[in-house]
Chains A and B, each alone.
Chain A
Amino acid sequence: MEPILTINNLTKKFGYLTAVKDLSFTINKGNVYGILGPNGSGKSTTLGIVLNVVNRTSGNFKWFDGSITTHDALKKVGAIIERPNFYPYMTAAENLKLVCKIKGVDVTKIDEKLEIVGLLERKNSKFRTYSLGMKQRLAIASALLNDPEILILDEPTNGLDPQGIHQIRQIIKEIANQGTTILLASHLLDEVEKVCSHVVVLRKGVKLYSGRVDEMISSHGFFELKCNNQKGLLDVIEKDPVFGKVKVEDDLITAFLNQPLSSEDFNKQLFKEGIVLTHLVQRKESLEEQFLQLTDNN
Chain B
Amino acid sequence: MLRLLQLELQKLLLNKTSKVLIFISFVLPFLVILLSSIKINVFGFFTLELGELGVFNFPIIWHLTTFFASQFKFFFAIVVVSMIGNEYSNKTLKQNLIDGLSKKEFILSKFYTIIFFSLVSTILIGLISLCIGLFYSSYNEFGIIIQEMNFLLGYFVKLVGFFSLCLFLGMLVKRSAFALAFLFVLYIFEWLVFWGAYEAFGSTDSAFKLKNFLPLESMYKLIDQPFQRIAMTKFPDKAELAYDYAVHWHEIVIVLGWTALFIFLSYRLLKKRDL
Binds A, one of B23-31, B88-96, B134-142, B176-184: B88-96
Give the residue name and chain of the B residue nearest to A14 (CB): B274
Near A by CB (< 8 A), chain B positions 172-213 give: none
A287 to chain B, nearest CB (A): 28
Tell me whether B98 is interfacial, beta carbon within 8 Å: yes
Contact B6 A83 (CB under 8 A): no
A71-B101, A102-B100, A102-B101 known; A86+B95 contact, CB < 8 A: yes
Q: How far is the CA of A92 from the CA of B80 in the complex (A)?
A: 24
Chain A residues closer than 8 Å to B272, beta-carbon distance: 55
Task: Give the residue of B7, B15, B100, B274 whose beta carbon is less than 8 angstroms from that of A75.
Answer: B100
- Which of A71, A72, A83, A90 has the most CB atoms of chain B within a 10 A radius of its CB? A71
Contact B92 A86 (CB under 8 A): yes
Tell me whether A79 is interfacial, beta carbon within 8 Å: yes
Tell me whether A117 is interfacial, beta carbon within 8 Å: no
Q: How far is the CA of A101 from the CA of B7 in the complex (A)?
A: 7
Q: How far is the CA of A89 from the CA of B92 in the complex (A)?
A: 12
Chain B residues closer than 8 Å to A177, beta-carbon distance: none
Contact B98 A79 (CB under 8 A): yes
Near A by CB (< 8 A), chain B positions 216-275 give: 271-275
**Residues of B in contact, count (CB < 8 Å):** 28
Tell me whether A30 is interfacial, beta carbon within 8 Å: no
Tell me whether A94 is interfacial, beta carbon within 8 Å: yes
Binds B, one of A46-54, A252-260, A289-297: A46-54
Chain B residues closer than 8 Å to A58, beta-carbon distance: none
Give the residue name and chain of the A residue nearest to B271 (CB): A55
Give the residue name and chain of the B residue nearest to A75 (CB): B100
Q: How far is the CA of A90 from the CA of B18 in the complex (A)?
A: 13
Contact B98 A52 (CB under 8 A): yes
Chain B residues closer than 8 Å to A72, beta-carbon distance: 100
Chain B residues closer than 8 Å to A51, beta-carbon distance: 97-98
Contact B90 A53 (CB under 8 A): no
Contact B99 A87 (CB under 8 A): no
**Residues of A in contact, count (CB < 8 Å):** 31
Contact A53 B6 (CB under 8 A): no
Chain B residues closer than 8 Å to A55, beta-carbon distance: 271-274
Tell me whether A88 is interfacial, beta carbon within 8 Å: yes
Tell me whether B41 is interfacial, beta carbon within 8 Å: no
Q: How far is the CA of A48 from the CA of B274 in the complex (A)?
A: 9
Chain A residues closer than 8 Å to B71, beta-carbon distance: none
Task: Give the residue of A71, A77, A94, A101 whose beta carbon is less than 8 angstroms from that of B6.
Answer: A101
Give the residue name and chain of the B residue nearest to A52 (CB): B97
Chain B residues closer than 8 Å to A74, beta-carbon distance: 97-100
A53 to chain B, nearest CB (A): 4
Contact A87 B90 (CB under 8 A): yes
Task: Give the residue of A54, A85, A99 whose beta carbon is less than 8 angstroms from that of B274.
Answer: A54
Contact B99 A102 (CB under 8 A): yes
Q: How far is the CA of A78 from the CA of B73 in the complex (A)?
A: 40
Tell me whether A203 is interfacial, beta carbon within 8 Å: no
B217 to chain A, nearest CB (A): 36
B99 to chain A, nearest CB (A): 5
Chain B residues closer than 8 Å to A99, beta-carbon distance: 99
Chain A residues closer than 8 Å to B91, beta-carbon distance: 83, 85
Chain B residues closer than 8 Å to A83, beta-carbon distance: 91
Chain B residues closer than 8 Å to A75, beta-carbon distance: 99-100
Give the residue name and chain of the B residue nearest to A152 (CB): B98
Tell me whether A98 is interfacial, beta carbon within 8 Å: yes
A69-B102, A99-B99 known; A85+B7 contact, CB < 8 A: no
Task: Give the residue of A53, A87, A88, A89 whose beta carbon is less than 8 angstroms from that of B97.
Answer: A53
Contact B90 A85 (CB under 8 A): yes
Chain B residues closer than 8 Å to A87, beta-carbon distance: 11, 14-15, 86, 90, 92
Contact A88 B274 (CB under 8 A): no
Chain A residues closer than 8 Å to B94, beta-carbon distance: 53, 81, 85
Tell me whether A137 is interfacial, beta carbon within 8 Å: no
Give the residue name and chain of the B residue nearest to A80 (CB): B98
Give the residue name and chain of the A residue nearest to B87 (CB): A87
B197 to chain A, nearest CB (A): 39
Contact A71 B102 (CB under 8 A): yes
Tell me whether A103 is interfacial, beta carbon within 8 Å: yes
Contact A89 B15 (CB under 8 A): yes
Give the residue name and chain of the B residue nearest to A19 (CB): B274
Contact A86 B274 (CB under 8 A): no
Chain B residues closer than 8 Å to A85, beta-carbon distance: 90-92, 94-95
A284 to chain B, nearest CB (A): 36
Q: List 21 A-B contacts (CB under 8 A).
A: A14-B274, A51-B97, A52-B97, A52-B102, A53-B275, A55-B271, A55-B274, A69-B102, A71-B100, A71-B105, A72-B100, A83-B91, A86-B90, A87-B11, A87-B15, A94-B14, A97-B10, A98-B7, A101-B10, A102-B99, A102-B100
Residues in chain B within 8 A of chain A (CB atoms): 3, 6-7, 10-11, 14-16, 86, 90-92, 94-103, 105, 271-275
List 6 A-B pairs, minimum CB-CB distance, nearest first. A75-B100, A71-B102, A85-B95, A74-B100, A85-B91, A53-B275
* Sample of 13 further A-B pairs with CB below 8 A, known A48-B275, A71-B100, A99-B99: A48-B274, A53-B275, A55-B271, A71-B97, A71-B101, A77-B100, A79-B98, A81-B94, A81-B98, A85-B92, A87-B14, A87-B15, A98-B10
